[in-house]
Every structure is written in C-alpha cells, then in structure tokens.
Amino acid sequence: MTVKTIWSINHTCGHQADRDLSDRAADRRAGFAEWLARQECTNCWRASKEGDEQDKAAWLKAKRAEEQAESEAWSEQYRMPPLEGTERAVAWGVRCRHQVLAAAYTALVLEAETTETEWEGIEETARTVTRAGWWIDQRSSEPDDLTELLQAATEADRPTENPHF
C-alpha cells in the first residue's frame, strides 16, 4: 500500500483541484493537503494578486496626480515661474520645488528666526532658478542649506546640466 500522490483539494474559493504531491515526503502529504484546502486555488490566488497590484498602481497614480495638482496650485499662488526641462522633469521639478520650499518655510520661518521679509528674499531668489533638474537634485536637501544652495545656483553661471534630464 502506498500513500497516494494525487490529492483532490477543495479550496476555500469553492474550486476543486487535483494536486500532485509526489514531490513531498509521503508522511507530509496529508498535512500539506490540509493547508492547501485552507487556500484559494492557484487561479483565484493569481487573479486576486493581480487585482491588488492594479489597485496599488491606480492608487499611486491618483496620489501622484493629486500631489501634482497641489504643487501646481501652490506654484501659482506663490507666483513661481514655469520650470524648464523635459515634460517629465518639469512635472517632477514642480513637486520638488513645492516640497523643498514648503519644508524650508516651516524650518526657517515657523520654527526658527527667519523673518517674513527675509523669507520673501529667499523666495525671490528661488523664482530665478527655473531649471527643473536643479530642484529635483535638491529634493533631499536640508532646509537649513536652502539659502546656500540657491546662492550657489544663482551666483555662478556654470554649466551644471544634469545629464539625466
């Protein structure tokens, strides 16, 4: 008498499938068959996984679009000029500029000693930097470094084109 290798599994999704368990040791098959019976069948599992991935992609896309709209509105409100670069770089650069300047405003004005007048000067300088790639490069910069970074960007007209954009 040998332990059977083909097990008929009733999956939780209601589907039934014959599974070949010959690659499992004979004394492990019953336990594995029980475990399988507590799962969805392969097709249902794959379908739900694909659904999750589509949901996630759609969610990310919606979130990105929302951030983009927010950054565009912010740029208009603070009279930030259009950026230069490829379409993709411009869209990303607008989000980075919004993020960098909002973080700097919080750190320098709300949480430190920078006056509104001084901040307006920083904003004025920020308006002159219109290269999308520059803002993308500064997206992880420290708010405290912004003044120095802007200064470096505006004082020297050196070729600093980022080859990626």
Q: d(Cα 7, Cα 68) in Å, to the nearest integer?
A: 53
Please state the closest distance from residue 17 (CB atom) to Zn ion, in A: 8
Q: How many residues bind Zn ion (CB under 5 A)?
A: 4
Question: Which residue, 15 or 127, has its beta carbon nearer to Zn ion?
Answer: 15
For residue 41, state whether it binds Zn ion (rule: CB under 5 A): yes
13 binds Zn ion (CB under 5 A): yes
Of 32 and 74, nearer to Zn ion (C-beta) is 32
Nearer to Zn ion, 44 or 102 (CB): 44
Supply the minimum distance, in Å, between the C-beta of residue 16 and Zn ion: 9
**Residue with smaller CB distance to Zn ion, 9 or 91:** 9
Measured from the CB atom, is 3 or 37 closer to Zn ion? 37
Site for Zn ion in 128-147 (CB under 5 A): none
Q: CB of 12: closest distance to Zn ion in angstroms? A: 8
Specify burial of residue 87 (Cβ count, 10 A radius: 0-12, 13-18, 19+).
exposed
CA neighbor of 112 nearest in space, from 83, 146, 137, 81: 146
Site residues for Zn ion, window 50-69 (CB under 5 A)? none
Long-range contacts made by residues 143-150, C-beta under 8 angstroms, separation at least 24? 143/100, 143/103, 143/104, 143/106, 143/107, 143/108, 144/107, 144/108, 146/100, 146/101, 146/104, 146/108, 146/122, 147/122, 150/122, 150/125, 150/126
- Contact positions toward Zn ion, by CB under 5 A? 13, 15, 41, 44
